[in-house]
Chains A and B, each alone.
Chain A
Amino acid sequence: MNNSIRVNCTKKNLKTIRDFVTEYLHALSLTDILMNQIVLAVDEICANLIIHANHEDPKKHIVLTISQAKDMLQFKISDEGLAFERANYKEPDIEENIRLGKKGGVGIALVNRIMDKVEFQSDGSQNTCILHKKIK
């Protein structure tokens, strides 16, 4: 089965990525809720890369590769945009977001809560985010 997809940085491609992940996971017979959580976590990372790291530049690309070792799923998402600065990341205070009418800033919190491990690597030109999820 094809386990890798490359798309250019437009928000319309988020649906393409979700469909790709859904199709890959289909054979694993996950519950609806777990399947949706995994698709969501990948979507959140890709949305951040497309919008913030690459400013929706259609000439730029992101690559997603899915692999599985026993009961551990791994999602590797690479791009060549601005690296995510984990040191500057702060967990959102949802009640404060509501008070301030803030729209963004809850995506990475979802990813952190859904995935078992979230890694960000950068070697200068290429950035890679690796998501790990135990499925059994």
Chain B
Amino acid sequence: MPMKITNEIKDNTIIMTLDGELDASSSVMLDEELSDPEIMEYSKILVDCKNLHYISSAGLGVFISHLQRFEDAQIKLIFYNMQDKVRNVFEILGLDLLMTIVSDYEEARSIANE
């Protein structure tokens, strides 16, 4: 199953829904999406991971490579609805301490508005 990425815009927020598996093949698409200059016009990116069934180092690497740029531009990147097995991969590298991962949309929304 190829990766499907859907963006929904709400005011100054992008809600990015990931559907599928992020591996060395499909993560190229995510990188293109996050490299789009238009994304810098928003102050919050909320990533819905409910249907993200798999992530490899290539997928993690895409997020790692954009993190500093978003932080410098004061764009908040928040992951939510993450499956335990996917969250575990972030935890193995300690990325759960360096990125914002919360349980659901309401919590993501409230942290985004802090």
Contact = CB atoms under 8 A, between A and B. Distances in A.
Q: In this complex, which of A37, A94, A100 has the most chain B Cβ atoms within 10 angstroms of its Cβ?
A: A94
A47 B84 CA distance: 23
A100 B67 CA distance: 10
A40 B56 CA distance: 6
Given A44-B56, A47-B23, A110-B92, A36 B85 contact: yes
B57 A110 contact: yes
B68 to A, nearest CB: 5
Contacts of A102: 61, 64-65
Interface in B37-68: 54, 56-58, 60-62, 64-68
B74 interface: no
By secondary structure, the B interface counts as: helix
Nearest to A92: B93
A113 interface: yes
B62 A109 contact: no
B89 A98 contact: no
Interface string A1-21: 000000000011011001000
A36 B64 contact: no
Given A11-B25, A12-B25, A36-B54, A106 B85 contact: no
By secondary structure, the A interface counts as: helix
Contacts of B1: 15
Interface string A26-41: 0000001101110110
Nearest to B69: A101
Interface in A77-127: 94-95, 97-107, 109-110, 113-114
Contacts of A100: 68
A135 interface: no
Contacts of B31: 103
B88 interface: yes
Interface string B61-84: 110111111000000000000001
B98 A106 contact: no
Nearest to A11: B25
Given A15-B25, A36-B85, A106 B57 contact: yes
6 contacts: A11-B24, A36-B54, A39-B54, A98-B98, A102-B64, A103-B65
- 6 closest A-B pairs by CB: A107-B57, A11-B25, A36-B85, A47-B24, A103-B61, A103-B65
